[in-house]
Amino acid sequence: MRAMPEGFRWGVATAAYQIEGSVSADGRGPSIWDTFSATPGAVRHGDTGAIACDHYRRWKQDFALLSELGVSAYRFSLAWPRILPEGTGQVNQSGLDHYRRLVDDLLARGIEPVVTLYHWDLPQALQDRGGWTNRATIDAFARYAEVVAEALGDRVPRWITLNEPWVSSFVGYGSGRHAPGIADGRSALLAAHHLLCAHGAAVPVLRETSGQVGVTVNLSPVRPVTPEDADAARRVDGCQNRWFLDPLLAGRYPEDMIEWYGFADAEPGDLESIAAPLDFLGVNYYTRTWVASGDRDVPHPVHPSLDAHQVLPEKLPRTLMGWTIEPDGLRELLVRLRTDYPGLPPVLITENGAAFDDYVDPEGGVDDEERIAFLAGHLSALADAIDAGVDVRGYFCWSLLDNFEWAEGYGRRFGLYHVDYATQHRLAKASARWYADVVKRNGLP
Ligand SMILES: N=[N+]=NCCCCNC(=O)[C@@H]1[C@H]2[C@H](O)[C@@H](O)[C@H](O)[C@@H](CO)[C@@H]12
């Protein structure tokens, strides 16, 4: 038995655009993901979030699944375009009312709502004015935080300002593989900086509420494939991990990367604002990053896509996303955080999960043994990190439901519950029953 500490929070996570659907209902405005997914070739099979899991209408039945799992917390995101359809200006009360109902139902079930303000669905109206490359979006986000704090501030125990600013900026503005589909290195750096500034502007606003405040970053330990790749690996670590951890936890950008990028867009006061004290750090972990500099020419100053430098060791097992399955990477990154960042606040694992080739068998079940093994391995590694002294307060499995997996569309299933998109029927996979038992035991059997 690998028991987690007393009071450890067990949860599952979702995000608005990936599950809600109803993209034009009750005053919702368009987001950059509505625009991007409608762009031919942007998303596999031309999939969009227009319907997704129809969660905007089926949320009550989905919340019954949370009770079935026995989780003590549920992480989900608010759709900024439901609350401020134009990104700023007029507030849409229907949007706020929807999320009030969700939060109140969770509380009535004894489940802690963990609310992400921004999980990639920027109002299109803001992108029309430059989006995250426009410094004005910082103030728009601060206003959005004020509106949300006023509406829900008395009943949300944990706030997450941003989900994975690295993906929003380097994948959305650097590689163009995510919305808004821009492929420009300097835009990626500007977007990353403004996202971090937006986080810094929102922290004091949310701190006025009764809730704790944090941010979620995706972290991945970086390994060189051969010793000659050590420099390239350090740059990728600088791009994916340190470019966000250093400002958030140490109030500075990493010197080696400032030089590498030639970055000079921080204004006086920005770094102090970004480094506002956190009540917790959300960490999303999926895999390690393997790097081979291979090409001897200097890689693009901004790593638009890590894939360009990733050479995955053939011997390692992979998920359907092509990501190597490396549970010990979770222990490694948490111990590194504790070692390298003395100001590290308590940690929540806000996402961990995997896509496998799930299917409904002739008996009508989904026997996803690979997912059970994935989760068990990562929970064991998490217990190792806690035994090593890392203060981890909770774990959120990604995800409650199969959902819209961004540029991969619906072809990649991460859910504990299988979704038949033709009927919207939810079916507990074997991993759902396994996870419910882990939650009940407060640890691995
Ligand atoms: N190479 N490689 N990289 C490993 C991870 C790259 C960054 N992508 C994520 O972390 C996304 C995060 C997102 O919050 C969620 O909305 C997504 O559905 C999951 C699953 O994709 C994960």
Q: What is the pLDDT of residues 58-89, one digit of tens each?
A: 999 999 999 999 999 999 999 999 999 999 99
Report the length, in residues, of the chain. Answer: 445
Ligand 1 atom closest to Cα of residue 166: 7
Phi, psi (deg, nearest 5) at residue 115: -105, 120
Q: Using an 8 Å Cβ cutoff, are 121 and 81 in contact?
A: yes
Residue 405 annotated as lining a ligand binding site: yes
CA dist 215 and 199 (Å) reads 8
- Model confidence, pTM: 0.96
Catalytic residue (one of 164, 326, 332, 370): 164
Catalytic residue (one of 112, 326, 332, 351): 351
Q: Using an 8 Å Cβ cutoff, are 311 and 361 in contact?
A: no
CA dist 81 and 211 (Å) reads 23
DSSP H helical ranges for 300-368: 328-340
**Tokens coding 226:** 């051969």
Residue 120 annotated as lining a ligand binding site: no
Query: From ligand 1's centre to the CA of 166, what distance in Å?
Result: 10
Q: What is the mean pLDDT of residues 98-113?
A: 98
Q: What is the mean pLDDT of residues 33-54?
A: 98
CA-based R_g, the chain, Å = 20
Q: What is the DSSP letter of 45?
A: G
Query: From ligand 1's centre to the CA of 406, what distance in Å?
Result: 9
pLDDT, tens digit, 9 for 90 and up, residues 366-425: 999 999 999 999 999 999 999 999 999 999 999 999 999 999 999 999 999 999 999 999
Please state which of the four CATH numbers 3.20.20.80, 2.40.30.10, 1.10.560.10, 3.30.230.10 is assigned to the domain occupying 2-444: 3.20.20.80
Angle at 122 between CA 121 and CA 123, to 5 degrees: 115
Q: Is the distance from the beta carbon of residue 217 to the nearest atom of ligand 1 less than 6 Å?
A: no
Element (DSSP H or E) covering residue 273: helix 270-274
pLDDT number for residue 291:
84
ipTM over 0.90: yes
Q: Is 20 a catalytic residue?
A: no
Residue 323 annotated as lining a ligand binding site: no
Query: Ligand 1 test: best mutation among 43, 53, 167, most atoms within 8 Å of CB?
Result: 167
Question: For residue 302, is pLDDT > 80?
Answer: no
Query: From ligand 1's centre to the CA of 302, what distance in Å?
Result: 19
Question: For residue 306, is pLDDT > 80?
Answer: no
Question: For residue 207, is pLDDT > 80?
Answer: yes
pLDDT number for residue 313:
65
Q: Is 86 a catalytic residue?
A: no
Confidence of residue 299 (pLDDT cuts 50, 70, 90): very low
Q: Produce one character per residue of 214-232: b if its CB has 16 or more CB atoms within 10 Å, e if not.
A: bbbbbbbbbbbbeeebeeb
